[in-house]
Amino acid sequence: MFRLMLIVTLIAAPGLARAEPTIGARLAATCAACHGTAGNTQGSTLPRLAGQSQQALSATLHAFKTGQRESTIMTQIAKGYTDEQIELLAAYFAAQKSGGRP
Ligand code: HEC
């Protein structure tokens, strides 16, 4: 009986994990210090990430990473992410609603 319960728990575990924030959301938490919660930058100094297309965000992050687009801060930051992580970040911010206050 115990074994059966253990198996059921193990099978159910990935389902429970789905309620956790996505990997993209977790990666994006790092960006919030400068780009605001969920990419909704407040004020006009920094560009707003929320609502930009996934393609544009991904292209920009790759441009920062390769040095194609110059930026002191974002070059350093973008270099810390793999291509797969950049896609997850881009997908996350593209899915956020632009403009709303959190
Ligand atoms: C220390 C502050 C800081 C952090 C943290 C930060 N950024 Fe930035 N980000 C900036 C600044 C400053 C700019 C404007 C740079 C420029 O245009 O040269 C920028 C620009 C961008 C742009 C270009 C947007 C546009 O419309 O031109 C993207 C995309 C971006 N950041 C993504 C991210 C992501 C994703 C993260 C988290 C992994 C992140 N940033 C974390 C400061 C930061």
Greatest distance between any 2 Cα atoms in the chain: 61
In a domain, 26, yes or no: yes
CA-nearest residue for atom 29, ligand 1, is 57
In a domain, 6, yes or no: no
Confidence at residue 15, expressed as pLDDT on a 0 to 100 scale: 55
Place of tokens 């899915």: 95
Domain count of the chain? 1
Query: What is the CATH classification number for the domain harbouring 34?
Result: 1.10.760.10
Q: The whole model's pTM is what?
A: 0.83
Domain ranges, residue 26: 22-94
Confidence at residue 20, expressed as pLDDT on a 0 to 100 scale: 75
CA of 83 to the centre of ligand 1 (A): 16
| Tokens encoding 59 | 């292209």
Ligand 1 first shell, C-beta below 6 A: 30-31, 33-35, 46-47, 49, 57, 60-61, 71, 73-74, 77, 89
DSSP state of 70: -
CA-nearest residue for atom 24, ligand 1, is 47
In a domain, 12, yes or no: no
Cβ of 98: how many Cβ atoms within 10 Å?
Answer: 15
Confidence at residue 9, expressed as pLDDT on a 0 to 100 scale: 57
Phi and psi at residue 68, to the nearest 5°: -60, -40
In a domain, 17, yes or no: no
* Under-70 pLDDT residues of the chain: 1-19, 100-102
CA-nearest residue for atom 33, ligand 1, is 31
